[in-house]
Amino acid sequence: MAVPKRKLSRSNTRHRRSQWKAKAPNLVKTVENGRVVYSRPTRPRSSKTQPAPRCTSSTRAARSLTSETVETDTTAALKKSLGIDIDPETFRLALTHRSFAFEAGGIPTNERLEFLGDSVLGLVATESLFYDNPDLPEGQLAKMRSAVVNTRALASIARRHGIGEHILLGKGEELTGGRNKDSILADTVEALIGATFVSRGREEAFAFVHRLIDGMLDDAVNLGAGMDFKTTLQEAAADLDLGTVSYEITSSGPDHAMVFTATAMLGVNNWGAGDGSSKKAAEAAAAEVAVKAIRTIYPDYRR
The reply to whether 118 belongs to the active site is: yes
Interatomic CA distance for residues 287 and 273, integer angstroms: 8
Lowest mean pLDDT among 136-140, 196-200, 222-226, 262-266: 222-226
Q: pTM above 0.85?
A: no
Interatomic CA distance for residues 194 and 201, integer angstroms: 10
User: Under CATH, what is the fold of the domain 58-224?
Assistant: Ribonuclease iii, N-terminal Endonuclease Domain; Chain A (1.10.1520)
Q: For a pLDDT cut of 70, what percent of the chain falls above it?
A: 75
Give the model's pLDDT for residue 220: 74
Going along 132-181, which residue ranges are E strands?
Answer: none
Lowest mean pLDDT among 38-42, 95-99, 193-197, 242-246: 38-42
> What is each CA distance from 101 to 182, 185, 258, in whole angstroms?
20, 17, 25
pLDDT per residue as tens digits for the range 153-175: 899 899 999 999 999 999 999 98
pLDDT per residue as tens digits for the range 239-257: 999 999 999 999 988 877 7
Interatomic CA distance for residues 129 and 219, integer angstroms: 12
pLDDT at 223 over 80: no
* Residue 65 confidence class, pLDDT cut points 50, 70, 90: very low
Comma-separated ranges of CATH 1.10.1520.10 domains in the chain: 58-224
Interatomic CA distance for residues 285 and 249, integer angstroms: 12
Give the model's pLDDT for residue 269: 93
Comma-separated ranges of CATH 3.30.160.20 domains in the chain: 230-297
Residue 241 burial (10 A CB sphere; 0-12, 13-18, 19+): exposed
User: Binding-site residues for Mg(2+), please?
Assistant: 114, 187, 190
* Residue 64 confidence class, pLDDT cut points 50, 70, 90: very low
User: Binding-site residues, please?
Assistant: 114, 187, 190
Beta bridge partners of 273: 263
Give the model's pLDDT for residue 14: 65
pLDDT at 218 over 90: no
In the three-class reduction of DSSP (H, G, I as helix; E, B as strand; rest coil), residue 258 is classed as: coil
Residues 6+ away with beta carbon under 8 Å from 103 = 170, 171
Residue in 173, 182, 190, 288 annotated catalytic: 190
Question: Across all residues in the chain, what is the average pLDDT?
Answer: 82
CATH numeric code, 230-297 = 3.30.160.20
pLDDT at 184 over 80: yes
Give the model's pLDDT for residue 61: 44
